[in-house]
């Protein structure tokens, strides 16, 4: 009896650890959204399925845009990401697929730029709760890949949108010449 108890205890620990080894679709979606919001694209990549290059292309483009743009523009992009508020609305899990629905409040940068283009003023608007926001509904599709849930599709995200936003931000914040340079470099990157 004394030998059975330690064996049962060890077995229970192993099974308990194994049952928590794989994050749920909801947790994977939350971790991915947190990584993007915190501009941690390497971590965000770890939650993406190899089956869909759209998200991978989008993350690669965001990373590249931040690399080629001046700090003034990068700061606005970072601020916009940090200002996003997301809530998981529902999760539906099937055998090897899951759908996670997300309600988001994202900065309305077009309206913000009508008020100000100064980074400090934008930060002040955010801190006072006066930053214009808009509501969005989104959806993550997840699949089981290599024994773990991975995001295979996100409704409403494309690398074209990221390029367009970066160019628009650049023109408003840095001027037309700088926006053309950034647009040209983005085109060269996406055509590779």
pLDDT of residue 163: 59
Q: What is the pLDDT along the chain (192 residues), one digit of tens a residue?
A: 555 544 434 333 333 333 334 799 999 999 998 998 888 888 988 999 988 778 888 788 888 888 888 888 888 778 877 888 889 999 999 988 999 999 988 888 888 888 888 888 888 988 888 889 888 888 999 999 989 999 998 885 544 555 566 677 777 777 888 888 888 888 898 887
What are the Cα distances from residue 148, in Å, to 47, 96, 98, 119, 143?
Answer: 9, 10, 12, 40, 8
Whether 161 contacts 61, CB under 8 Å: no
Q: Residue 156: its pLDDT value, please?
A: 59
3-state SS assignment for residue 40: coil
- How many Å apart are CA 53 and CA 43, to the nearest integer? 16
- Per-residue confidence (pLDDT) for residue 32, from 0 to 100: 92
Task: Report the pLDDT value the prediction gives residue 21, as an integer from 0 to 100.
Answer: 40
Structure-token match 């700088």, residue found: 178
Q: How far apart are CA 167 and CA 183, in angstroms?
A: 6
* DSSP tag of 135: E
Domains and CATH numbers, the chain: 23-190 (3.10.450.50)
CB-based burial, 170-183: b 16+ in 10 Å, e otherwise: bbbbbeeebbeebb
Annotate 10-67 with DSSP letters as a single string.
HHHHHHHHHHTSSPPHHHHHHHHHHHHHTT-HHHHHTTB-TT-HHHHHHHHHHHHHHH
Q: What is the pTM of this model?
A: 0.73
């Amino acid at each position: 009896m004394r030998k059975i108890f330690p064996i049962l205890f060890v077995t229970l620990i192993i099974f308990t650890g194994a049952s928590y080894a794989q994050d749920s679709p909801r947790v994977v979606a939350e971790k991915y959204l947190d990584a993007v919001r915190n501009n941690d694209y390497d971590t965000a990549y770890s939650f993406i399925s190899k089956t869909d290059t759209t998200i991978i292309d989008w993350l690669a483009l965001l990373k590249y845009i931040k690399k080629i743009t001046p700090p003034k523009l990068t700061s606005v992009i970072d601020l916009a990401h940090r200002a996003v508020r997301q809530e998981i609305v529902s999760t539906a899990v099937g055998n090897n697929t899951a759908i996670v629905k997300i309600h988001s409040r994202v900065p309305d940068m077009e309206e913000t730029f009508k008020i100000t283009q100064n980074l400090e003023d934008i930060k002040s608007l955010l801190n006072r709760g006066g930053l214009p926001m808009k509501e969005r509904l989104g959806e993550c599709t997840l699949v089981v890949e290599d024994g773990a849930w991975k995001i295979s599709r996100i409704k409403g995200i494309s690398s074209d949108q990221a390029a367009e936003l970066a160019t628009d931000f650049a023109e408003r914040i840095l001027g037309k010449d700088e926006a053309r340079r950034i647009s040209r470099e983005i085109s060269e990157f996406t055509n590779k």
